[in-house]
Amino acid sequence: MASVEIRPSPDGVPGAVTDPARLRAEELTFAGADGTAVNGYLVRPAAPGSHPGMIVIHEAGGLNDHIRDVSNRLANSNHVVLAVDLYTREGGPPPMDDVQKMMERLFSIPDARVIGDLEGAADHLRGRDDVTGKVGCIGFCMGGRYTLLFACSSDRLNAAVDCWGGFIDKATPDQRSTPERPVPPLEMAERLHCPLLAAIGAEDQNPSPEMGTQLLERARLSGQEVKVDVYEGAGHAFFADYRQTYLPGPAAKLWGEIVPFLARHLQSG
């Protein structure tokens, strides 16, 4: 385990960390699917005490500085946070300037392996002395899809936040299912194991607001609390402050939904 210096958040982002001394961070590995060592970034409050755990799942760009900063913001809201590197076995993210290669990488990762890695992350958090018995998960873009998949496939979570997870209704643009992605998460939604908050941009097409309506209807059959928010004027990845898609207003509104949702399901009881 190697400690990591925490830097302040970019100016003005929702939940910005302004005093890094309040947090402690380290790079580590945990046991994922089949016992494989998976890389992760763990950040927690510096003050003694126990807090709920949070898993953070990155976008297609991998475990980058933005995802680490989002993890820091969640830790600053009194969580012990483990951001997972789902590209550990591949040695890092695909080339983001080559859309075809990026999509090939995404579609080649088996869903079963991802679920095993995420269950390992949840087990790692629950095994820590500074973590209470509750664990949540949040993911962005591809991470949003995996968050929904995880919440519908496993009983390890107490709360899930799906931020514009794409390809929840099919495996690829042309195929409903593949050996790597056998069942679309949308078709599993009625098996949801925990409360779900989902965020979708009104101008997004993957997922579209119409897909959000389907998710809401199917997920409610699980008996769990489900909320799907559509953000007007926003497209895909509107929370990613390092991208041109970033929109401060909708991003702040989303953070204002995430924090109380997690507090309600993870901090109490």
Q: What is the pTM of this model?
A: 0.98
In eight-state DSSP terms, residue 35 is G
- What confidence tens digit (pLDDT) does each residue in 214-227 have? 999 999 999 999 99
The half-sphere exposure of 80 on its side-chain side, counting CA atoms within 13 A, is 24
| Contact between 53 and 30 (Cβ < 8 Å) | no
pLDDT tens digits for range 84-105? 999 999 999 988 888 888 899 9
User: How do the domains of the chain map onto residue ranges?
Assistant: 2-267
Q: What digits encode the pLDDT tens for the residues 161-180?
A: 999 999 999 999 999 999 99
Backbone angles phi, psi at 163, to 5 degrees: -100, 105
Q: Are 28 and 110 in contact (CB under 8 A)?
A: no
Please provide the average confidence, as pLDDT, over all residues in the chain: 96
Mean pLDDT, residues 200-221: 98
Q: Which fold has domain 2-267?
A: Rossmann fold (3.40.50)
Q: By percentage, how much of the chain surpasses pLDDT 70? A: 99
Residue 1's pLDDT is 67
Q: Helix, strand, or coil here: 40?
A: strand
pLDDT band at 2 (very low <50, low <70, confident <90, very high): confident
The pLDDT value given to residue 269: 58
pLDDT of residue 197: 99
